[in-house]
Structure 1
Amino acid sequence: MQILFDQGVPAPLRRHLSDHRITTASELTCATLTDRELLDRAEASGFDLLITTDRNLKHQQVLAGRDLAILVLSTTS
């Protein structure tokens, strides 16, 4: 599974997902993109899952019809 970590997702979480390909938004130079641009880039790049700490994402973006699963963490720690 290809997973994209959004800004704010704790990097040590990577150790617990070692069976998956993990990339951070910073590594893709996506750190300055808007949420919509990040979602579009993640889908176009073939990511299966976006992990984020942005609890408002579902209120700010239309997520219906996306091929990308989104996991929102309740905390950054």
Structure 2
Amino acid sequence: MRALLDENMPKALVRLFAPEVEAWTVQQRGWGGLKNGRLLTAASAEFDALITTDQGIPHQQNLSQYAIGIVLMEARSNRIEDLAPLVPEAKARIGSVAPGTVLRVHETGGPAAG
């Protein structure tokens, strides 16, 4: 499973997803500054999932046109301290996110499809 961490995600999360998930950051791929549509197009060619905290992506994009799933991590903030507790559940479920769909991982109750 290959996943791309959105620009709003802490780089330190890469190591927390390993070894089960091969995670890269937007910056590592040289895609910093790409807007969501262009980023999703580029990422679809190389990755199975985009991991993000951007609550707007499901509402701003027609996700069904992309060959990538979205893992939306819903925490108090995008700081590593708030996101790290969500990583085990995200890793366990990331393989089930289908292209064009959103898998929500919540800080208080585990993930829900959305």
Pairwise same-fold verdict (TM > 0.5): yes
Structure with the higher fraction of residues in helix conformation: 2
Select the structure with the greater relative contact order (CA < 8 A; seq sep ≥ 6).
Answer: 1
Letter in 1 for 2:78: T
Structure 1 partner of 2:78: 76
Matched residue of 1:11: which SS? coil
Cα separation, 2, equivalents of 1:58 and 1:7: 16
Are 2:14 and 2:25, in contact at CA under 8 Å, matched by a contact in 1? no
Matched residue of 1:64: which SS? helix
Q: Would you say how many aligned residue pairs link Structure 1 and Structure 2?
A: 76
Structure 2 partner of 1:12: 12
Cα separation, 1, equivalents of 2:66 and 2:11: 25
Q: Structure 1: which 5+ runs fail to align?
A: none
Cα separation, 2, equivalents of 1:5 and 1:34: 14
Normalized against structure 2, the TM-score is what?
0.61
Cα separation, 2, equivalents of 1:56 and 1:68: 16
Cα separation, 1, equivalents of 2:57 and 2:4: 15
Structure 2 partner of 1:52: 52
Normalized against structure 1, the TM-score is what?
0.86
Letter in 2 for 1:62: N
RMSD between superposed Cα atoms in Å = 1.3
